[in-house]
C-alpha cells in the first residue's frame, strides 16, 4: 500500500506541477476560444447582426407592401364605385368618347417634340 500511495502522490505532484506551469496558458487559450466562438460562431455576434439586418429588411419590405396593398385596395374601391374613375379609365384606355366628341391620338414619338422648344 505504501507503494500505491507513493505513486498516487507522485502523479498528483506531477499534475500540480504541470498545472502550475501551464494552467494559466490553458485557461487563457480556452477563454480565447470561447470569445472567438461567441463572435464568429454559428450563433455568435456577427450572425446575430446579420440576422437583425435581414429582419429589418423584411420589415421594411412588409411596410412597403402594406402601403402598396392599401393603395390597390383604394383603387379597387374607386373602380367599383366611383363613376368618374370608371369614365377616366374607359376614355384613356379604350379611347371611348361621349357623343359629339372627337378623339385625336398623338403618337408617342411626337410627344418629345411638343415638350422641346420650337426650332427656328
Domain boundaries, the chain: 1-40, 43-97
- Higher-confidence residue of 6 and 52: namely 52
Band (29; pLDDT cuts 50, 70, 90)? very high
Say yes or no to pLDDT of 78 above 60. Answer: yes
Give CA–CA dist 100/90, Å, rounded: 16
The answer, as to whether pTM is greater than 0.85, is no
Distance of CA 3 to the CA centre of its chain: 70
Amino acid at each position: 500500500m505504501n507503494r500505491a500511495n507513493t505513486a498516487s502522490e507522485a502523479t498528483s505532484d506531477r499534475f500540480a506541477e504541470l498545472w502550475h506551469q501551464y494552467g494559466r496558458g490553458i485557461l487563457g487559450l480556452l477563454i480565447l476560444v470561447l470569445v472567438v466562438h461567441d463572435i464568429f460562431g454559428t450563433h455568435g455576434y456577427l450572425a446575430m447582426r446579420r440576422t437583425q439586418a435581414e429582419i429589418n429588411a423584411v420589415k421594411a419590405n412588409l411596410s412597403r407592401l402594406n402601403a402598396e396593398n392599401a393603395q390597390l385596395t383604394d383603387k379597387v374601391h374607386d373602380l367599383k364605385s366611383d363613376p368618374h374613375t370608371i369614365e377616366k379609365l374607359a376614355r384613356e384606355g379604350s379611347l371611348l368618347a361621349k357623343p359629339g366628341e372627337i378623339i385625336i391620338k398623338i403618337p408617342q414619338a411626337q410627344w418629345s417634340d411638343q415638350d422641346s422648344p420650337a426650332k427656328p
